Amino acid sequence: MLGSDAELLAATCRAVESCDHVKNQRQAQICMEALAVHLEELNLPAISAFCSLGKFQPKLLLANESVETTAEMMTRMCEIARKNPEADFGIFRDIMVAAGRLGVQPSEEMQHFLAVKISDGISEIRAVRELLQVADAAQRQGCVDYCLMHDVAREAVKLIEIMEIGQLSHLMGIFARQEVYDGEFLEKARERLLCLLAIREKVGMSGPQMLNLMTVVSRLNTSLDPEQEVLDLLCMRAKELIPTFSEINITQLLLAVQKRRPVVGEAIHELMESVMSRDVSAWSPCSAATTFCALSKLSHFSGELAVTCLTVVNKKGVS
């Protein structure tokens, strides 16, 4: 009876996972109460249900005292799945993703085992969302497996033409933090970014997305953008968002630009002019000083903006 009940529970959890999480908090709670019973005798459907809730409602799962969410539990799940001949790629992927979301990693041996299983079956991934989940989970492992990271990069090349700008930015951010420089991926990512930034009207990025992408592009530097084409297009798009940015957002943006050590051309000059359209004299001395420091590291920077920043610092002082 446990098997059939657990299979029903797993299906319910997957349904909850795919729905709006705000509307389904109560359904998730019901699933969790039933899960606590099934975890007494672990089988694949119960593990699948646990992982679905771990991906969908990690905070709710961690806060529930009736469900064990420890490294030992994750290790036990891995061991059970490894010994079960019916366990497929999906179950190992779900265990890794759930462990990352819950912040509780299995033993080092099991982390390595999961990384190998995911690498072996990664070609089964067909959706960008699933690949991003794997990439995020891989970077959260206590022992990051760089073979898996490069396999993710190679698989991303196959899906890159359907990636939206936010998805691409997220994936590049993971690779930048882990210092994964896959040549083919970076080349394709550059082409995709140029296409999205140049063709899509207004790009549709929010301020935070723009700041994140600018930071990632600057961090990857010439590995991604040797001719500075991506940075220049980002500056053109960022110029349109300057009226909506706070002074802190603007300083973050300029710091990201200067980190790239760019050649200051028309796009960057126009970005500076857009910043000057703001009332910089009303900024805090800290923001003004940070902006001046960023400008001082750029060749042929905006003298007018720099003078305005220094004036603010002199008048208001820096605490």
Q: Using only C-alpha atoms, what is the Rg of the chain?
A: 24
In the chain, the amino acid numbered 139 is: Q
Q: Is 188 within 8 Å of 170 (Cβ atoms)? A: no
Residue 282 has pLDDT above 60, yes or no: yes
Average pLDDT, rounded, for the chain: 87
Query: Which residue from 317, 271, 266, 309 is spatially nearest to 290, judged by alpha carbons?
Result: 309
Looking at residue 99, its pLDDT comes to: 94
Give pLDDT tens digits for 22-73: 566 777 777 777 888 777 778 888 898 889 888 888 888 888 877 888 889 9
CA dihedral sign, ordered 76, 79, 84, 89? positive
Give pLDDT tens digits for 209-234: 899 999 999 999 889 999 899 999 99
Averaged pLDDT for residues 8-21: 70
Percent of the chain whose predicted confidence (pLDDT) is above 90? 46
Give pLDDT tens digits for 66-121: 788 888 999 999 999 999 999 999 999 999 999 999 999 899 999 999 999 999 99
CA distance 154 to 185: 7
Give pLDDT tens digits for 160-198: 999 999 999 999 999 999 999 999 999 999 999 999 888
Biggest CA–CA distance in the chain, Å, is 77
CA distance 148 to 156: 12
Residue 277 has pLDDT above 60, yes or no: yes
Three-state secondary structure of the chain? CHHHHHHHHHHHHHHHHHCCCCCCHHHHHHHHHHHHHHCCCCCHHHHHHHHHHHHHCHHHHHHCCCCCCCHHHHHHHHHHHHHCCCCCHHHHHHHHHHHHHHCCCCCHHHHHHHHHHHHHHHHHCCCHHHHHHHHHHHHHCCCCCHHHHHHHHHHHHHHHHHCCHHHHHHHHHHHHHHCCCCHHHHHHHHHHHHHHHHHCCCCCCCHHHHHHHHHHHHHHHHHCCCCCHHHHHHHHHHHHHHHHCCHHHHHHHHHHHHHCCCCCCHHHHHHHHHHHCCCHHHCCHHHHHHHHHHHHCCCCCCHHHHHHHHHHHHHHCCC
Burial class (CB in 10 A: 0-12, 13-18, 19+), 161: exposed
